[in-house]
Structure 1
Amino acid sequence: MNARPAPEFPKWPQYDDDERTGLVRALEQGQWWRMGGEEVDSFEREFADFHGAPHALAVTNGTHALELALQVMGVGPGTEVIVPAFTFISSSQAAQRIGAVAVPVDVDPDTYNIDVAAAAAAVTPRTRAIMPVHMAGLMADMDALGKLSADTGVPVLQDAAHAQGARWQGKRVGELGTVAAFSFQNGKLMTAGEGGAVLFPDSDLFEAAFLRHSCGRPRTDRHYLHQVSGTNMRLNEFSAAVLRAQLRRLPAQTALRDQRWALLSRLLGAVDGVVPQGGDVRADQNTHYMAMFRLPGIAEEDRNALVDRLVDAGLPAFAGFRAVYRTDAFWEVGAPDETLEQVAERCPNTEAISSDCVWLHHRVLLAAERDLELTAEIIADAVAAV
């Protein structure tokens, strides 16, 4: 019997002469930092326009984007931030690093997005922000979160690290009236290796964030009159030039990923024991940062061994995120006044998903249909061997 051919996937990151032109343009302008160049300013305008937001601020990375957003929203020592328990740990650490307590809450077992009822139950007088993560590019329930915010007075911060270009009922991320933070880390939907951005719904928040991201120094200051405590989160001109090219390529890639996920999710759903990530018809543009699926009932060690087999077969496969509270880092600083067991008890869906979830990098969804068929066959064989 002939061995099955290995699927072929596009390389990531992707680039062409558009990025090269941008890098040369940044090089030859003679000013390589944002206070003297034009690339960061241009990228901010283009990124804000693309998402329907009044303002965008480019920063050094997605974790800094969250930290900065939380800080200008009034988060700090003595306050709490509600975060989904199933997410990359930057979501919780961003709050913890600026002195706040991160309060993990459970997620939906189908979409993997924050459970709004669980978030509502976690609100206290100390809560200063509710941070949904648009998991794998599928937007969280922004209607319910908007109502919760209105009822409690607690603002929402969208962790949109996976969601460049996503929409909720026709509205882009920047049209939903909240602050939103993005990541441009190497694996993200658009990337400069590292980088981040924050969208702001009003100029006051934007100006406050600009000061803090630039060492508390006003744009026109010539005498070192730093107005507030800040740090250096400024994005450089070369990264911005690359991101401008990446943004122009994003819509076509998003459309292709959406088409390919329709095929792959159908193929995976036909595999015994495999349950693809669900959707929400109100999230009418899913960016598909990850192709995620669950193997309900599988032990974590068996899931991990399965991932190893998929990698050996040529798939860019990864284990699902570990629950944030099941890491030593979470308990170092800014943890709630609970035991690990108490947090786990109120997060049963997170407990399950963290043990049984697998994801494939989004470049899989840029491949040809035959390669997706081969991908599903490889996954079926690996699952059958568990």
Structure 2
Amino acid sequence: MVVVSGLLEFPAWPQYDDTEKAGLIRALEQGQWWRIGGNEVDLFESEFAAYHGSPHALAVTTGTHALELALQVMGVGPGTEVIVPAFTFISSSQAAQRLGAVAVPVDVDLDTYCIDVTAAEAAITPRTRAIMPVHMAGQFADMDALMKLSVSADVPLLQDAAHAHGAEWRGKRVGDLGSVAAFSFQNGKLMTAGEGGAVTFPEAEQFELAFLRHSCGRPRTDRSYLHRTSGSNFRMNEFAASVLRAQLSRLDSQIAVREERWPLLSSLLAQIPGVVPQGTDDRCTRNPHYMAMFRIPGITEERRNELVDVLIERGLPAFAAFRAVYRTAAFWELAAPDESVDSIANRCPNSEALTADCIWLHHRTLLGTPEQMHAIADVVADVVGRS
């Protein structure tokens, strides 16, 4: 057994310091704790939009709500379809299904784990209202091909950027690519307030409609309860926004560390027989590395899960990768496609493989030292070698 005593004490997550404390006190003492009367949410939206190259950002309660709200603004509802990658967290499909739209899973690329553009193109029908690429673990989907497809098919993109805070495609941030994007600030994300989300919009009209719908259809200055649209209460509170302003201020420095660590860890993992790390696309010029992902091709799902348990016992914050969305009971409860699990699985062989053989490590591991990257690889090599 490889001995790495003391080397696997990775940085904690979430991280905070006096900046968050000062923000919370600032929000407390302003005397208004909701966004309509306070300043923190407005300021966070302005700062987050500018950071991501977008003219507009709207802060909301969760990343799932961010997707749902964005889809609603884009005209998604009963009788429509949304194309989603089969390999993703369930929120990507459920956001569409909660609106009564059918989520249509398509396969992903086996190197980057992002949506297969050819598969997405083949799934377009007259009912398709959106294509939702997920930037898996911070690795951009092929936005060149997706933007071309969006124009030719006249179907807008909704970028699920829950893993992609600060990511860049050909030097452009997520909000500077001409399409709507949704972010998450859940506890494990690259910046967090425990929960929270945001949507960036390229157009003012979309932003204004989203504001109405996220605030029960009520305009900012309304005093007569003249609700203009249907909606819900997806408003972020002032305390969460104050924390997120602090989190945003240190995001660049954290990304810089992870971008230094992943090439080292990836190269070490690639040297382990049977281990294949997530690939990269050179057009993704900045990857924040939400997860350190790798595959063990040919392993069974049961055995993969056992290996994850052993990695955790050995000190690694390891996780089994997402299940293909159609292999969950939740997917079939609302607005499911009119086909079987097997028929979807047959056209999603890469998602099937990833469901069984993919493992990921929390991004706090990539905030560790170079010596810790070697220690991670040693543990993975030892555990996999014993399987």
Report the TM-score when normalising by structure 2. Answer: 0.99
Question: Letter of the aligned partner of 1:382 in structure 2?
Answer: V
Match of 1:67 in 2: 68
Task: Give the Cα separation in 2 of the matches to 1:132 and 1:334.
Answer: 20
Match of 1:191 in 2: 192
Match of 1:141 in 2: 142
Structure 2 alignment gaps of length 5 or more: none
Given that 2:61 and 2:196 are in contact with CA atoms closer than 8 Å, whether structure 1 keeps it comes out as yes
Task: Give the Cα separation in 1 of the matches to 2:48 and 2:348.
Answer: 35
Task: Give the Cα separation in 1 of the matches to 2:175 and 2:318.
Answer: 31
Task: Give the Cα separation in 2 of the matches to 1:371 and 1:159.
Answer: 31
1:267-295 deviation per Cα after TM superposition (whole angstroms, max 9, x unaligned): 10010100000000000001100000000
Counterpart check, 1:339 vs 2:344: no
Equivalenced residues, count = 386
Match of 2:305 in 1: 304
Match of 1:118 in 2: 119
Match of 2:226 in 1: 225
Counterpart check, 1:151 vs 2:152: yes
Task: Give the Cα separation in 1 of the matches to 2:331 and 2:280.
Answer: 29
Match of 2:349 in 1: 348
Alignment of 1:260-275 (within 5 A): 260-275=261-276
Question: Letter of the aligned partner of 2:350 in structure 1?
Answer: N
Residue 305 of structure 1 aligns to a residue in which SS?
Answer: helix
Report the TM-score when normalising by structure 1. Answer: 0.99
Task: Give the Cα separation in 2 of the matches to 1:122 and 1:255.
Answer: 37
Task: Give the Cα separation in 2 of the matches to 1:273 and 1:258.
Answer: 24
Given that 2:59 and 2:236 are in contact with CA atoms closer than 8 Å, whether structure 1 keeps it comes out as yes
Match of 1:172 in 2: 173
Displaced runs of 4+ in structure 1, greater than 4 A? none
Task: Give the Cα separation in 2 of the matches to 1:241 and 1:39.
Answer: 6
Q: Report the CA distance between 1:2 and its aligned residue.
A: 8.8
Counterpart check, 1:5 vs 2:1: no
Q: Report the CA distance between 1:156 and its aligned residue.
A: 0.2
Match of 1:289 in 2: 290
Task: Give the Cα separation in 1 of the matches to 2:303 and 2:96.
Answer: 33
Q: Report the CA distance between 1:124 and its aligned residue.
A: 0.1
Given that 2:2 and 2:379 are in contact with CA atoms closer than 8 Å, whether structure 1 keeps it comes out as no
1:207-237 deviation per Cα after TM superposition (whole angstroms, max 9, x unaligned): 0000000000000000111011010000000
Task: Give the Cα separation in 2 of the matches to 1:335 and 1:269.
Answer: 38
Alignment of 1:250-261 (within 5 A): 250-261=251-262
1:280-318 deviation per Cα after TM superposition (whole angstroms, max 9, x unaligned): 000000110000000000011110000000000010000
Match of 1:380 in 2: 381
Task: Give the Cα separation in 1 of the matches to 2:22 and 2:347.
Answer: 52
Given that 2:14 and 2:187 are in contact with CA atoms closer than 8 Å, whether structure 1 keeps it comes out as yes
Q: Report the CA distance between 1:369 and its aligned residue.
A: 1.1
Alignment of 1:18-37 (within 5 A): 18-37=19-38
Question: Letter of the aligned partner of 1:38 in structure 2?
Answer: N
Structure 1 alignment gaps of length 5 or more: none
Residue 102 of structure 1 aligns to a residue in which SS?
Answer: strand
Counterpart check, 1:87 vs 2:53: no
Task: Give the Cα separation in 2 of the matches to 1:142 and 1:109.
Answer: 17
Task: Give the Cα separation in 2 of the matches to 1:345 and 1:109.
Answer: 15
Residue 200 of structure 2 aligns to a residue in which SS?
Answer: strand
Alignment of 1:205-216 (within 5 A): 205-216=206-217
Given that 2:2 and 2:378 are in contact with CA atoms closer than 8 Å, whether structure 1 keeps it comes out as no
Question: Letter of the aligned partner of 1:249 in structure 2?
Answer: R
Question: Letter of the aligned partner of 1:322 in structure 2?
Answer: R
> Structure 1 residues 2, 303: CA separation in 2 closer, same or farther (over 3 Å shift)?
closer
Task: Give the Cα separation in 2 of the matches to 1:239 and 1:3.
Answer: 41
Residue 47 of structure 1 aligns to a residue in which SS?
Answer: helix
Counterpart check, 1:96 vs 2:104: no
Calculate the aligned-residue CA RMSD, in Å: 0.8
Residue 150 of structure 1 aligns to a residue in which SS?
Answer: helix
Task: Give the Cα separation in 2 of the matches to 1:5 and 1:224.
Answer: 62
Q: Report the CA distance between 1:93 and its aligned residue.
A: 0.2
Match of 1:202 in 2: 203
Match of 1:49 in 2: 50
Task: Give the Cα separation in 2 of the matches to 1:123 and 1:285.
Answer: 30
Q: Report the CA distance between 1:3 and its aligned residue.
A: 3.8
Given that 2:2 and 2:382 are in contact with CA atoms closer than 8 Å, whether structure 1 keeps it comes out as no
Match of 2:329 in 1: 328
